Structure 1
Amino acid sequence: MSRLIRIDDDIYESLKKLADPFEDTPNTVIRKLLAHDLSSIKGGIKIPPRTPETGRIKKGNATPQLVYEEWLMYILWKEFQGRARKKEITSAVISNMQKNELLKEVDFVKVSTGETRAENKIAWSRNRLKEEGFIVSNSPAGIWELTEKGIIKAKNIMPTKSQSEDDIEKIESSRVTTQNPAGHVFEYMVHNARAKMIITESNLYSILKGSTALKEEKMSIPENAKRTRENLILSGILVTNLRGLLEFTKNVEFKSPSAASAVISGSSTDGWICFKDRNGKTLKHYRKK
């Protein structure tokens, strides 16, 4: 039996920080917290653990989020004229992505919400697109509907039929900034590394000379970012400084902010959120609406 509870905004934000992206809900985060806090209580409440099949997977194995977002908008317009019930559009998106061989076995594994990973990512896609103004935020429960801006965007979408990193990067780099903040310097700080970036007139993302990056790489680092780091090191553009960090000896341009942030952090990151201006506004604030 499910019960409706209300929580304060600050508590909700704290739960978000503890969540596994695309997998957790507030309920599953609380469940894990209870399992941790009550584990030492003799005869305490038994909280069902997450099974191995709902565990996290390495990034790069499942279909990227951006691909789901693109197909959701495309199918919502093409097959439903911009308005559909959640169950119908979810099924249609999965069916079309299957036909184009975009889904993998791991996309059909159930996550902690009880949904398949594909269903969960489609739901997250709807939330992301709603934040960007492409999907109506106050539609009746269970109804997903494109805004006027979303319809214009959807009409011009040619959904990717490939999962190559180059194609994913093209999707992201197409979301250029409309208020090109000329002269703005964005910073990304991760641990003891600090990188500065500007956006060029041609909408490239230039990491400035003197910026630093973490030397250690994580398993989640995209292959493109790994190769870029290797090439920059071999060419002497990234060198190890006295602090044990990698330092840029010249400006380096990237096609997308996430490509830049991945090289800096040595892991898979969202550059739209990582880079901030001096007022604390993320690069996402300047993204084309």
Structure 2
Amino acid sequence: MKSIRIDDEVWAALQKRAKAFEDTPNSVLRRILHLDKTQGKRNRSNRTPKGVKTPQAAYRHPILRALYELGGHAQVSDVLEKVHVLMANRLNETDYQPLASGEIRWRNTAQWERNAMVEEGLLKKNSPRGVWELTAKGIAEAEALLE
């Protein structure tokens, strides 16, 4: 698999075109570039029914706690490992299923929540690639959670 770098504006445009809880950046690009042979033919019954998977918002507190406990910033893999431990009793069979991209659903959902947290100013937008980092606002919210 090839990697490409995109700027924040392109990332924001991809997010706007993404189908919540379903798309990856690759699947959005495939749809935009008309590379998705099943476009328009998708059977909606293939989608995960609402309420079956753990909601995106449920990842917020574990992400805040994980980052806070990891010193305020950490590699994505370390954050997700800690989030997995914190959410072990909450994740269900559906959360462990792979998406069409091959990525495990709960990891994808956690990353979408990370993007929402960046937009809300809880995580830094300009952290190095592969690193998640709390802002001052994120630190304050994490500390309030842990009180």
Give the TM bin, normalised by the shorter chain.
0.7 to 0.9
CA distance in 2, matches of 1:30, 1:83: 29
- Alignment-derived partner of residue 2 in structure 2: 2
* Structure 1 residue 59: Cα displacement: 1.1
Equivalent positions of 1:114-263 (< 5 A) are 114-157=102-145
For 2:24, the aligned partner's letter is T
Aligned twin of 1:89: 79
2:47 counterpart residue number: 56
Question: Any stretches of 5+ residues in structure 1 without a counterpart?
Answer: 39-49, 159-289
Distance in 2 (alpha carbons) for counterparts of 1:142 and 1:6: 14
Instruction: Give the CA deviation at 1:27.
Output: 1.9
What is the DSSP-based 3-state SS (H/G/I as helix, E as strand, rest coil) of the residue aligned with 1:29? helix
Q: Return the offset for 1:82.
A: 1.2
CA distance in 2, matches of 1:130, 1:147: 9
Does structure 2 retain, via aligned residues, the 8 Å contact 1:25–1:113?
A: yes
What are the Cα deviations for residues 227-252 of structure 1, in whole angstroms up to 9, with x where unaligned? Answer: xxxxxxxxxxxxxxxxxxxxxxxxxx
- Aligned alpha-carbon RMSD (Å): 2.7
Give the aligned partner of residue 76 of structure 1. Answer: 67
Instruction: Write out aligned runs for 1:92-107 (5 A).
Output: 92-98=82-88, 101-107=89-95
TM-score by length of 2: 0.79
TM-score, scaled relative to structure 1:
0.42
- 3-state DSSP class of the match of 2:53? coil
Q: What are the superposed Cα offsets for residues 98-141 of structure 1, whole Å, 9 maximum, x if unpaired?
A: 0xx11100000111332111100111111111111111111111
Deviation at 1:35, TM superposition (A): 3.2
Q: Partner letter of residue 121 of structure 2?
A: G
Name the amino acid aligned to 2:65: Y
Aligned residues: 137
Q: Which amino acid aligns with 2:25?
A: P
Alignment partners' CA distance in 1, 2:5 and 2:129? 18
Residue aligned with 2:36, SS: helix
Residues 188-235 of structure 1: CA deviation (Å, up to 9, x unaligned)? xxxxxxxxxxxxxxxxxxxxxxxxxxxxxxxxxxxxxxxxxxxxxxxx
The list of structure 1 runs, each at least 4 consecutive aligned residues, that deviate by more than 4 angstroms after superposition, is 15-18
Q: Which has the higher strand share?
A: 1
Q: Structure 1's 95 and 37: CA in aligned 2 closer, same or farther, altered over 3 A?
A: closer
Distance 2:38 2:53 in 1: 31
Q: Which has the higher contact order (CA 8 A, sep 6+)?
A: 2
1:57 partner amino acid: T
Query: Is 1:27 aligned to residue 26 of structure 2?
Result: yes
Give the percent of matched residue pairs that are identical in Structure 1 and Structure 2.
38
**Higher alpha-carbon Rg:** 1
SS of the aligned residue for 1:34 comes to: coil
More helix by share: 2
Distance, in Å, in 1 between the alignment partners of 2:101 and 2:54 is 18
Q: Which segments of 5 or more consecutive residues in structure 2 lack a partner in the other structure? A: none
Distance 1:139 1:3 in 2: 18
